Amino acid sequence: MSEIGKVIRLGRILGRGGRTVILALDHGVEHGPSDFPERVLDAKVIVREAVRGGASAIMMHKGLAIRTREEWAGKIPLILKITGRTALAPDESAVQSVVGSVEEAVALGADGVAATVYVGSADEPLMLREFGALVGKCMEFGMPLLALMYPRGPKIRDRHGVEYVRYAARLGGELGADVVKTYYTGSAETFREVVKAAQAPVVAAGGPKLNTAREALEMVKSVMEAGAIGVAIGRNVWASADPIGMLNAIKRIVFQGQSVDEALEEVKAF
């Protein structure tokens, strides 16, 4: 029976032919408030824009989900982020701790959960054990799992290198993720290797704030040409001068296959 619930929930996130544009809003835990321009320091502003811009889902931690519930509940699918770390911890202890649960996601009315694994970290065994238990819980409750699989550790020479990223994506697929989110490798050619290896649908992380809307949209176009099902993007939307326009432009590329120039027609402020 739980499989029915997973199909229904995943269908809400991956609408329109199995593609998705997820707005990521977990940055306050991962990076602190400095990532947020003053205009969007209040999370309610970002959630409202996600709804107005027609994002497929919004990903955030439970505190924000509770405090912004009037903005998203019944309007946009919630993906509850249930692992986290801060930027204040040293890189040599790169570990994401479990800070939420599938049961909490169910209680909040979420349509998915998201968890990060740093592949190659000294604490990888701990994260893999916790990830394995999470997969089991998601199967039990019919909850889709978005796995954020990021190469990070002493042996990782380049976190965006295709060999590391495709290994991380493959790990997520093999361990039971419904969707894998991982780093963009810099080109459609290399990211295609990640998509082929993953054994699960792949979305690309939006990454750091880029200088122009065109750069961000070129990344999205490249990701889609590589065979990904979409993007999970944050700063390049809500930290931009025209968040609604950026969301609409990204949707044009992801859902309609339009060119970057066509999509840029949506963006009023670059």
Q: Which SS3 state, helix, strand or coil, does residue 219 take?
A: helix
- Active site annotation includes 181: yes
Pairing type for strands 97-98 and 83-84 reads: antiparallel
Query: Among candidates 203, 270, 260, 206, which has minimal Cα distance to 236?
Result: 206
CB atoms under 10 Å from CB of 136, counted, come to 12
Q: How far apart are CA 29 and CA 164, in angstroms?
A: 25
Residue ranges of alpha helices (H) inside the chain are 2-13, 15-18, 27-30, 43-52, 62-67, 69-72, 102-108, 124-141, 162-175, 188-198, 213-225, 235-238, 243-256, 260-263
Say which of 181, 196, 221, 251 is annotated catalytic: 181
Q: Which residues are catalytic?
A: 181
